[in-house]
């Protein structure tokens, strides 16, 4: 090259030769680093060497492919730039500074390959640079500013290396703007590799913990795995809140990717269980608040048991909590049980261990029965070992089991969770012996007769502790009681007869109108337990109290009681009762209708659930016939009849769907007394309508002409303003809308027909919709546009393939779906049909 001396050419040749040899193998790098350092020390000046070095390196910045030989050169150059020779420290520092400035210029180039290589080498230098490197603060500021700018580069790989370069500075409190930048761009980043690099670069702090936990639901498997890796390496168990701990485990152990779930299991085992809890699973459960997050505790124990991380042969058992001492037993001195109370975590631990052993024993037994020879013997031995271990852990006798549960129940509300966990052990005990069955039957009677807990408010009114519906005040307790009762009374009809006897006894004061509120609630709670677990009224026929008498003497009066908790549980029981009837009775449907329109919020919610369930189970026209409205919907019905919900006579003389549609249209339901702030009448009816649309083939009595109106209403609710009582409905509808248009062409036809009604109901200033301030109108228009795009996306969704192909008479394969007698889907089922509807509507509006 012109202007270059022979010495320059020789220097460049030496450098090029070393770099060429360095790209062949990593094994040569240490030797070549020494050779290149020697060349630098022998050069006339550091700047002279850098000039030759940078010229030789320029072709690297034009080579885009990331092949192995090129990556070896990048690594070699990065290591050399950070290597500090003690004998020539000043020369090394000067070379590093010049090289960084050279790279910063390349990082600002218009050429994307030059920016990529510059950011790659800068990141490698920073990650490998020793702490004693001498670089001026001004130069570091330039590097940081340049890399922060490249974090927003349009090329993903450049953003990746820019983030990696900044990661070493993110821990520095003086560079908080780097962390702020990471937190700003992470939720907006589209590239999974960049998101992964940002997550790996985040320092541990209160500000980043929630962000990293949020990444455990990222769409990319690599990002989710990186999030669990960072949580394991940078966040000790104690530094995380209970809520974050449970979210981490719930998401990780249930992740669809085996690699991610294994990473979460590694985090839980190595960092939490072994380091923080000394390998004790029960100690780990104490960090998870299993009383609040029981399902997470179940998942944790299940994962640990499957991974073989629970030592079941250390001699521990439930029997160690049961002993006997001398004391008064009745009127004489004898041995009485002495129970050591369990904490909630310990009770859940033993319940999950016993369930695991029982499941494994059954599985191995089934495997032994399905095989032969040595393999069968091995499976049988494993099943026997599990059964022996289960027998050693469980209470020795049924009496010991009952004493253990009773002691925890008597210990008060602080041990209620432990009581329920221990109660579930009853499903693993043997009640075939008549004596055991008699003792357990007496205990079941005690549980069924145990009244609900309550307290008085400042005005002296009774406030039920719990949900006020299920026996014991919560569904889990009621399920555990019914599970034990069905295990003890396993003969067909025995369970129903036993519970019905308790109902009759508890309901006697109610029938005589002498019962107080708690007696009403208790009797209805046990009745609900019976109705929920009974398969039909067959077992109740011929008993001392017939189903019809139960309805008239307990359920209907309860629904009319002045106390709304009594009304609520009675209405729920009416719904369960109606599901067991062959056809819904007039009295039942009439009372549910009246409770729906006249009851307090919680009662209206319960009544709407009951009406929806009856309609789905018996079909809406059967519910209408119960009130004497023996008429069907005309096939061409295109609108619902307006209903005045304050007019009782009118309410009792309309069809069920008209009544429910009037209910979902009403916006002024009083939710002040609702038992669940996330439930409302509109949400319950909306879920019911979604089920009707999804399973429309099962309800031929509902004309297809009404489906677009129901769908338009659901779309309107889905895009409504943020309301807490509609959040659960919106979650339900998000799944519904994902599948509904893909199930059949008929659904797309319905969607096409629903488009215009949905837009009319949402666009401000038309169809009776209110206008308002400019900002409000603008937001309403944006919401309508968003809904229109959403509906168009649903129209474009592909139809699901049928699991069983349609075959014609000649044995040919898949046939097109038949609609209106035609093999081909009509035009109105697609985007063309929707375009025609929009055009017709626009023409109408122009003429109007």
pTM, full prediction: 0.83
Average pLDDT of the residues of the chain: 86
| DSSP line for 340-380 | PPPPHHHHHHHHHHHHHHHHHHHHHHHHHHH--HHHHHHHH
Of the listed ranges 251-260, 330-339, 475-484, 834-843, the least confidently predicted one is 834-843
3-state secondary structure of 280: coil
Largest CA distance in the chain: 119
Nearest to 151 by CA among 185, 123, 176, 175: 185
Cα distances (Å, whole numbers) of residue 488 to 431, 432, 470, 556: 6, 8, 20, 31
Residue 47 has pLDDT above 90, yes or no: no
Provide DSSP, 176-227. Answer: HHHHHHHHHHGGG---HHHHHHHHHHPPSSHHHHHHHHHGGG-SSHHHHHHH
Residue 818 pLDDT level (bands cut at 50, 70, 90): very low
Among the ranges given (2-6, 77-81, 146-150), the one the predictor scored with the smallest mean pLDDT = 2-6
Structure tokens at 754: 């629903």
Residue 629 reports pLDDT greater than 90: no
Q: Using CA atoms, how far apart are residues 715 and 675, in angstroms rounded to an integer?
A: 26
Q: 301 pLDDT band (50/70/90 cuts)?
A: very high
How many other CB atoms sit within 10 Å of the CB of residue 460? 6
The b/e string for 88-101 (b: 16+ C-beta within 10 A; e otherwise) is eeebbbbbbbbbbe
Q: What is the pLDDT of residue 825?
A: 52
pLDDT of residue 315: 78
Cβ partners under 8 Å of residue 751, min gap 6: 708, 711, 740, 741, 791, 794, 795
DSSP one-letter code for 322: E
Task: Map tokens 């009130």 to a residue.
Answer: 627
DSSP one-letter string for 823-836: SSPPGGGSHHHHHH
* Mean pLDDT value of segment 484-508: 89
Q: How far apart are CA 729 and CA 774, in angstroms?
A: 30
pLDDT at 46 exceeding the cut of 60: yes
Q: What is the CA angle 494-500-501, rounded to 5?
A: 90
Q: How confident is the model at residue 105 (pLDDT cuts 50, 70, 90)?
A: very high
**Do residues 321 and 339 make contact, with C-beta atoms less than 8 angstroms apart?**
yes
For the beta carbon of residue 110, count every other beta carbon within 10 angstroms.
Answer: 6
Q: What separation in angstroms does the CA of 443 have from each of 72, 81, 341, 408?
A: 76, 80, 19, 14
User: Looking at residue 401, what is its pLDDT?
Assistant: 95
Categorize the per-residue pLDDT at 673 as very low, low, confident or very high, splitting at 50, 70 and 90: very low
pLDDT per residue over 70-80, tens digit each? 889 999 988 88
pLDDT-derived band at 843 (thresholds 50, 70, 90) equals: low
Give me 76's structure tokens: 């070699």
Distance of alpha carbon 444 from alpha carbon 484, whole angstroms: 8
More confident: 616 or 7: 616
**Long-range contacts of the stretch 76-80 (C-beta < 8 A, 24+):** 76/19, 76/22, 76/23, 76/29, 76/32, 76/33, 77/19, 77/121, 78/121, 78/124, 78/125, 78/128, 79/29, 79/33, 79/124, 79/128, 80/33, 80/36, 80/37
Instruction: Give the 3-state secondary structure of residue 329.
Output: strand
The string of DSSP letters for 636-655 reads T--SPPP--TT-HHHHTTS-
Q: If you average pLDDT over residues 6-28, what whole number do you get?
A: 86
Angle at 190 between CA 186 and CA 196, to 5 degrees: 55
């Amino acid at each position: 090259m012109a202007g270059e001396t022979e010495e320059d050419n020789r220097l460049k040749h030496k450098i090029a030769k070393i770099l060429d040899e360095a790209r062949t193998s990593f094994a040569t790098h240490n030797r070549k680093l020494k050779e290149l350092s020697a060349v630098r020390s022998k050069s006339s000046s550091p700047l002279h060497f850098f000039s030759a070095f940078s010229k030789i390196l320029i072709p690297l910045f034009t080579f885009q492919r990331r092949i192995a030989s090129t990556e070896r050169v990048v690594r070699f150059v990065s290591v050399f730039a950070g290597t500090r020779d003690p004998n020539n420290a000043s020369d090394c520092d000067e070379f590093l500074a010049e090289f960084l400035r050279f790279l910063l210029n390349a990082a600002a180039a218009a050429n994307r390959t030059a920016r990529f290589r510059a950011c790659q080498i800068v990141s490698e230098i920073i990650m490998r640079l020793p702490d004693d490197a001498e670089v001026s603060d001004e130069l570091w500021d330039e590097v940081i500013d340049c890399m922060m700018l490249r974090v927003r580069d349009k090329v993903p790989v450049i953003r990746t290396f820019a983030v990696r370069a900044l990661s070493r500075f993110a821990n520095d409190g003086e560079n908080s703007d780097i962390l702020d930048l990471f937190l700003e761009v992470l939720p907006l980043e589209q590239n999974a590799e960049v998101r992964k690099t940002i997550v790996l670069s985040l320092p541990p702090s209160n500000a980043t913990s929630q962000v990293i936990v949020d990444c455990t639901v990222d769409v990319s498997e690599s990002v989710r795995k990186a999030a669990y890796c960072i949580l394991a390496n940078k966040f000790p168990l104690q530094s995380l809140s209970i809520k974050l701990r449970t979210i981490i485990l719930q998401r990780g152990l249930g992740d669809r990717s085996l690699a991610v779930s294994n990473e979460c299991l590694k985090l839980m085992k190595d960092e939490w269980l072994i380091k923080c809890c000394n390998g004790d699973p029960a100690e780990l459960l104490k960090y998870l608040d299993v009383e609040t997050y029981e399902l997470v505790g179940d998942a944790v124990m299940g994962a640990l048991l499957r991974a073989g991380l629970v030592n079941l042969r250390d001699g521990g058992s439930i029997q160690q909590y049961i002993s006997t001492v001398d004391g008064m037993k009745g009127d004489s001195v004898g041995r009485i049980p002495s129970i050591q109370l369990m904490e909630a975590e310990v009770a859940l631990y033993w319940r999950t261990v016993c369930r695991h052993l029982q499941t494994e024993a059954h599985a191995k037994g089934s495997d032994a029965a399905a095989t032969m020879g040595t393999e069968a013997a091995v499976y049988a031995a494993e099943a026997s070992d599990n059964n022996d271990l289960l027998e050693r852990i469980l209470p020795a006798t049924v009496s010991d089991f009952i004493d253990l549960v009773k002691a925890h129940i008597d210990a008060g509300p602080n041990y209620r969770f432990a009581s329920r966990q221990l109660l579930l052990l009853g499903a693993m005990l043997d009640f075939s012996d008549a004596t055991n069955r008699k003792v357990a039957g007496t205990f079941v009677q005690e549980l069924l007769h145990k009244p609900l807990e309550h307290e008085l408010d400042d005005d002296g009114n009774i406030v039920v502790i719990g949900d006020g519906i299920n026996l014991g005040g919560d569904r889990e307790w009621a399920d555990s009681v019914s599970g034990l009762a069905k295990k003890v009374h396993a003969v067909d009809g025995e369970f129903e007869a036993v519970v019905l006897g308790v109902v009759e006894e508890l309901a006697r004061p109610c029938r005589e109108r002498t019962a107080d509120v708690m007696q009403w609630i208790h009797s209805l709670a046990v009745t609900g337990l019976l109705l929920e677990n009974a398969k039909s009224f067959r077992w109740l026929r011929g008993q001392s109290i017939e189903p019809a008498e139960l309805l008239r003497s307990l359920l209907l009066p309860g629904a009319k009681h002045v106390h709304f908790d009594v009304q609520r549980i009675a209405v729920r029981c009416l719904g369960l009762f109606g599901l067991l009837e062959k056809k819904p009775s007039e009295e039942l449907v009439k009372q549910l209708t009246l409770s729906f329109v006249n009851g307090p919020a919680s009662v209206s919610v319960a009544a709407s659930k009951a009406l929806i369930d009856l309609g789905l189970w018996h079909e809406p026209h059967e519910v209408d016939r119960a009130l004497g409205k023996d008429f069907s919907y005309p096939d061409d019905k295109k609108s619902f009849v307006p209903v005045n919900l304050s007019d009782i006579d009118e309410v009792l003389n309309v069809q069920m769907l008209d009544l429910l549609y009037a209910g979902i249209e009403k916006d002024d339901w009083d939710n002040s007394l609702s038992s669940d702030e996330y439930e409302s009448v509109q949400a319950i009816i909306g879920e019911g309508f979604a089920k009707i649309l999804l399973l429309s083939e099962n309800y031929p009595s509902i004309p297809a002409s009404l489906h677009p109106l129901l769908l338009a209403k659901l779309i309107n609710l889905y895009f409504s303003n943020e309301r807490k009582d509609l959040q659960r409905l919106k979650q339900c509808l998000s799944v519904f809308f994902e599948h509904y248009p893909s199930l059949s062409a008929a659904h797309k036809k319905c969607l096409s027909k629903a488009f215009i009604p949905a837009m009319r109901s949402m666009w401000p200033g038309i169809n009776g919709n209110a206008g308002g301030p400019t900002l409000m109108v603008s937001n309403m228009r944006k919401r309508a546009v968003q809904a229109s795009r959403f509906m168009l996306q649903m129209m474009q969704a592909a139809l699901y393939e049928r699991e069983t192909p349609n075959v014609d008479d000649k044995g040919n394969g898949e046939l097109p779906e038949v609609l209106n007698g035609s093999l081909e889907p009509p035009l109105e089922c697609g985007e063309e049909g929707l375009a025609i509807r929009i055009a017709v509507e626009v023409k109408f509006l122009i003429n109007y």
